[in-house]
Amino acid sequence: MVRCEHLELRNFRNYARLELDLPAGVIVLQGENAQGKTNLLEALHIVATTRSSRGAPERDWIHWLAFEEPLPFARIGARVRRANSTVLVEVVAAVGENGTGVTKRMKINGALRRAVDVVGQVKVVLFSPQDIDLVAGGPAQRRRYLNIMNAQVDPKYLRALQLYERVLLQRNSLLRLVRDRQARSDQLDYWDKQLAEHGAYVIDRRREALQLLNELIAEIHPALTADRERLVVTYRPNLGNDLPVEPLPPLAELSATILAAVQALRPREVAQGASLVGPHRDDFQLTTDGTDLTAFGSRGQQRTAALALKLAEAEFIRRRAGDQPVLLLDDVMSELDARRRRQVLAAIRSEQQVVITTTDLDDFEPTFLDHATILRVKAGRIERAR
Ligand SMILES: Nc1ncnc2c1ncn2[C@@H]1O[C@H](COP(=O)(O)OP(=O)(O)OP(=O)(O)O)[C@@H](O)[C@H]1O
Ligand SMILES: [Mg+2]
């Protein structure tokens, strides 16, 4: 069972210094508001994904007081226990020598590594009250969901996504140059191919993921609701308006499909100075009995669908990667009813590491707490309650 067995924070958020042993099983992190509970989950999320769970820039990670030091930095170090080994993962955000930009460095066992090498050493799934935005919010939230999940189980996905995003930036600035007649349009040919190649892999993996997610959700969702609604997720890739989206061609033909769409749209892309086709415009739709939950779902339906997506994410990672993700539950128990609470707790496998934050231990059954490690958080310090 992969878990984070030790965490060391230096100048991370409101933790000036922290050394913390994290046992296997359930850990309940109890504390008043604004003491550092979510910050600790954020640190674990960064160890797993190199990215903030809040989408916060690296500068925000650094303790405010550290900015009075000559070279401000935040450091997160974790000892990850894997089946037959332990791995030291380190993520540092530091203000550069020139005092301005913040750069991020990652190490594994003391050696500098790239994000793709770090992501997935330990895997996490975060549950938070904001999860409802997965359903109620815009497509960017749903793409982020797909990205975090796929990147943790497939380094090639993360690599393709990184390359794709780089191509997109280059291509968009070239499109604007062409529009302003400062570049020739045939210079776009190279970037079109790059976009199609990396984009095809991303789309293919997302398609595959959504297929499995649908199967998982078909089992998970009914258990969350008393109604007999069936939740279905449908991939909505953006391949230009002129092309049918269903069925998507297999990976081998996908990049040609994207390329054709891109070339057909070139005049419009040049006019708008933006790339209009590709996985950066993807979405997926959530429906129950044909009703789009994003537009028409009740708050309760949206919340349930979001929870189903999250539980499916955990199961997806387990199936694809073979190891259990660490579950991070931020403040979610208090807002769930008894049925959904049971369902979340039922998803926890024995020995699986779970970190649950709460302000109030009364949110839990005493028998549940009997099997948990309880930690108290106060102003950036953590003590073991028992
Ligand atoms: N870079 C930073 N440096 C110092 N303190 C910070 C930094 N970023 C955030 N904080 C502080 O961390 C505090 C607690 O954050 P956190 O979100 O972890 O609280 P919490 O325990 O989860 O509270 P709640 O129960 O309200 O969710 C914030 O009030 C903020 O003042
Ligand atoms: Mg919080």
Helix (H) or strand (E) holding 140: helix 139-153
Count other C-beta atoms under 10 Å from residue 322's C-beta: 10
Pick the CATH number of 134-322 from 1.20.1050.90, 3.20.10.10, 3.40.1110.10, 1.10.20.10: 1.20.1050.90
Evaluate whether 79 touches 85 at the Cβ level (below 8 Å): no
Separation of alpha carbons 124 and 44, rounded Å: 8
Query: What pLDDT, in 10s, does the model give residues 242-283?
Result: 555 568 899 999 999 999 999 999 999 999 999 999 999 999
Residue 194's pLDDT band, with cuts at 50, 70 and 90, is very high
pLDDT in tens, 203-240: 999 999 999 999 999 999 998 987 778 999 999 998 87
* Residues 27/9, Cβ–Cβ less than 8 Å: no
Whether 331 shows a pLDDT value over 60: the answer reads yes
Which pLDDT does position 245 carry in this prediction?
58
**pTM greater than the 0.85 cutoff:** yes
Per-residue model confidence (pLDDT) at position 134: 98
Alpha-carbon distance of 52 to 14, in angstroms, equals 15
| Ligand 1 binding residues, C-beta < 6 A | 13-14, 31, 33-39, 60, 62-64, 331, 359
Which residue, judged by its Cα, is nearest atom 17 of ligand 1? Answer: 38
CA of 45 to the centre of ligand 2 (A): 14
Q: Mean pLDDT, the chain, as a whole number?
A: 94
Percent share of the chain, pLDDT over 70: 98
Ligand approaching nearest to the C-alpha of 62: 1
Give me the sheet containing 26-30, strands edge to edge. 124-127, 326-330, 354-358, 26-30, 373-378, 381-384
Task: Please state, for a pLDDT cut of 90, what percent of the chain lies above it.
Answer: 85
Judge if the upstream peptide bond of residue 72 is cis by omega within 30 degrees of 0: no
